Structure formats: C-alpha cells, structure tokens
Amino acid sequence: MTHYQNRIERRFAELKAANRTGLVTFISAGDPDYDVSLEALLALPEAGADVIELGMPFTDPMADGPSIQKASLRALNAGQDMQRTLAMVRALRERENEIPLVLMGYYNPIYRMGVENFLSQASDAGVDGLIVVDLPPEHDDELCLPAREHNIHFIRLAAPTTDAKRLPLVLQNTSGFLYYVSSTGVTGMAAPTPERVEAEVNAIREHTDIPIGVGFGIRTPEQAKRIARFADAVVVGSALIECIEKAATPDEGTQAVVDLTRSLAEAVDKARKYQ
C-alpha cells in the first residue's frame, strides 16, 4: 500500500512548527448515548482538541479507572457497538476532515469483528490510529503490522515501569506518537509529579524521535500546563468523562466537555508559546 502522510503525522508536524504542545482529548463512544456522544465528538475540534481519542466500549476495561469503566457501561447499555462507533467517525469526517482520530480500547471487540474487516472499515471511516492496551509488542503480527498496511498508526503505551530493556521492543513498531502513562495504576487516578515525568520523558527521547503524549491523572488546566512544558501532547480523558457523568442533563454534559476542553487548550497553548 502506498504510504501517504497520515493526519497524526501532519498534526504533530504543525504543532512542532508552531512551537505548540498538542491537546489530546478522550471521550467514550456512545456515552451516555449515541446522539449525545456524537454531539460532544463534533464539538471537540472547535473547542481546541488537536487529536481525539474515541473509546471503543468494552465490558472489561481492565486498564481504566472507575470513570471510564462506568462510561463504557453506560454506552453499552445504550446499545453502542463497533459499527455505531465507526458511524460516529464517519459523521465526524463529514464535518471535519483534518483532526486526527484515534480509536482506543481493547482487542476483543476488534477480534470478534475480524481484524481485516475492522481495519478496512476503520480506514474507510477515517480512523488514523489505534491504541489497544491489551496487545503487547509480542503480538504485533495480530493487529499492529496489519494496521500499518491500512495507513493506521499503532500507538503504544510506555510507563514508569517500562525499563531500558523493554523500551526498544515497545518503540519498535510504534508510530504516530508514543503515549506515556505518567503514573502506574488505572486511568484517572493519582496526578503525576511534573518533575519526575519530565525526567522520564527525556530519558525516552534519547531512544526515539517519535512525539510523546503524556496522560493519566491530568485533570485540570494547571496540571496540563505544567506537563505541556516538556511533552509533545497532553492527554486528558477521565476529567472529560466525569463532565458527562456528573451533569444534570445531557446538554449540560456536552457543554461541560466543551468548556473544559477550551480551558485545557488555552492552558496548554500558553505553556510553550513564549519560550
């Protein structure tokens, strides 16, 4: 397959040229239902997201904290499945064709659909990348390498527990960007210490030129601003999911997602703009 520059590559090149740190936002597809979730998805680019991660709901999201677990359950109870998630991507592409979109989740729903069938539909819909948290590098033949044939980046996670021996294997087939998990445990829990995370990210940079996005535990604009001073992108998920969970009405939830995204984008933009 002839390679063309993927939206993720273009976006990180644009960010680098502008000396900007990117904002990566995560919401779960179908939470609390398809229509409300689609409304939030369509609002994210204008609110300031540079990359969107769209969660593929799954019954056993073992790496996710309570907020994203509950979001997956709400979505599944409302009838969300892989076809409806891909329909959301197509709806986004009818409105916005430049923002990179990454599907994030677990291998089981992809396996059940069939890898080639999934990748073909995902590519046609306008998916740019995949984060599949339960497929380690030892299983790259399963999905990572086939995804590359469809010009879909396979974005790997690294963590404080990824030692020097393991890191080269993690980086080997990673493309698009590396998602650095800034704290151990599940998503949305302890806030990372910026000084420690910066040292860990700098250590990884000695081994790769790939952009590094930092996430897990980043909840506020101030936290995002501190991480943005050294990361190529800041990833926020659980805090956005909780906007939906805690809202009195669906419309209020969507507005809260937009407001927080806008505040995060402004904070991230200020972090490196005048350095």
pLDDT for res 135: 94
Residue 53 tokens read as: 């991660």
Q: Which of 53, 140, 200, 242 is catalytic?
A: 53
Q: How far is CA 159 from CA 115, 183, 213, 263, in A?
A: 27, 7, 12, 27
**Nearest of 217, 228, 229, 256 to residue 240 by alpha carbon:** 256
Q: Catalytic site residue 138? A: no
Nearest to 159 by CA among 179, 188, 139, 133: 179
Residues in Cβ contact with 254 at an 8 Å cutoff, skipping those fewer than 6 apart? 36, 39, 40, 43, 244
Q: Give the pLDDT of residue 216.
A: 87
φ, ψ at 127 (rounded to 5°): -80, 135
Residue 207 has a CB neighbour count (10 Å cut-off) of 12
Distance of CA 126 to CAs 23, 99, 249, Å?
A: 20, 10, 30
Sign of the Cα pseudo-torsion (210, 54, 11, 93, in order): positive
The answer to whether the beta carbons of residues 253 and 36 sit under 8 Å apart is: yes
- What's the confidence (pLDDT) of residue 2? 40
pTM for the structure as a whole: 0.93
Name the nearest CA neighbour of 237 among 70, 19, 4, 78.
70
pLDDT in tens, 30-70: 999 999 999 999 999 999 999 999 999 998 877 677 888 89
In the residue annotation, 14 being an active-site residue is answered as no
> What pLDDT score does 171 carry?
96
**How do residues 171-210 score in pLDDT, each as one tens digit?**
999 999 999 998 655 444 555 578 889 999 999 999 999 9
What pLDDT score does 1 carry?
38
Catalytic residue among 31, 64, 140, 242: 64
- What is the residue extent of each domain of the chain? 7-273
Check: CB of residue 212 under 8 Å from CB of residue 205: yes
Q: Which fold has domain 7-273?
A: TIM Barrel (3.20.20)
Question: Could you give the CA distance from residue 257 to residue 218 in angstroms, rounded to a whole number?
Answer: 15
**The predicted structure's pLDDT at residue 119:** 98
Residues with pLDDT less than 50, the chain:
1-3, 186-188
